[in-house]
Amino acid sequence: MWKIFVISIVLLFIGCFPMINHYQTGQTAPKGHLQVGGSFSPYYYSTLSSEALLWPITRLDFKYGITDRLDIGTAFLFNYIIPGIAFNAKYQVLSGNFDGAVLLDGSYSRYSYTIFNASATDKITTLRPTFVLSRDHQGGFPFSIAMGLHYWHVANTTTDNEADTTWHNKYSITALTLNLGVPIRFGSMRFMPEIGLWMPFIGSASIGNENNSYFLEKGNPIFQAGAYMGYDGKRE
């Protein structure tokens, strides 16, 4: 049981640091154009522990404009050392001095490792519906505000190779999110620092096939800070 306890702590630790930031504006990629960008989000602050932590998440995004108001994208990401892939779609509903869009982003990560002669596999799934309001035209202060939900599910399967015993551990969290960014244009390039807030309000946990919901701390926000740099072309 001490093995499952240690591995469960690893599981919870990994799951405590989701990708909060979006680095999006309310505009979509121009029809028929490809946009490429990368982000680095290394800084977290948890109000539960009142401590800062460096837990780098890197992400490389590709977006393609399907119509003047719709784009689709894919991304490759690393949650520290855990690889993953993401897909998203964005539809622009407002244009003008302020731009607005509905964004749906989802990701899947999988990582296997061995600890204390036990083999473990973690699977992380996310779904993030979001509304983005922004302004990055000349003549006004640029900003981006993203508000939405974040569903975060972590499933772990651990096998004790000595005892030939398998445990299934999982937990899920749904959180409210708020992102504040500053999209700065340099010709066809965009640099965007951003701060994200993650406020969990629904959660469940099962550690070692038993209900351990008390492991979750709902209502304790986590902050993430990072920056994006990418090629946007004429607009995004």
pLDDT averaged over consecutive 10-residue blocks of the chain (236 residues)? 53 65 95 96 80 87 96 93 94 94 96 79 93 86 96 85 77 92 92 95 71 53 94 70
Q: What is the pLDDT of residues 99-138, one digit of tens each?
A: 999 999 999 999 887 777 778 888 899 999 999 999 987 6
- Residue 226 phi/psi, 5-degree rounding, is -175, -165
Distance CA 136, CA 119 (A): 49
Distance CA 23, CA 50 (A): 25
- Going from the N-terminus, what domains does the chain have, and what CATH number goes with each? 2-231 (2.40.128)
Residues in the chain: 236
The residue to which tokens 């981006």 are assigned = 144
Query: What residue type is assigned to position 227 of the chain?
Result: A
- Specify the DSSP element, H or E, that contains 128: strand 118-135
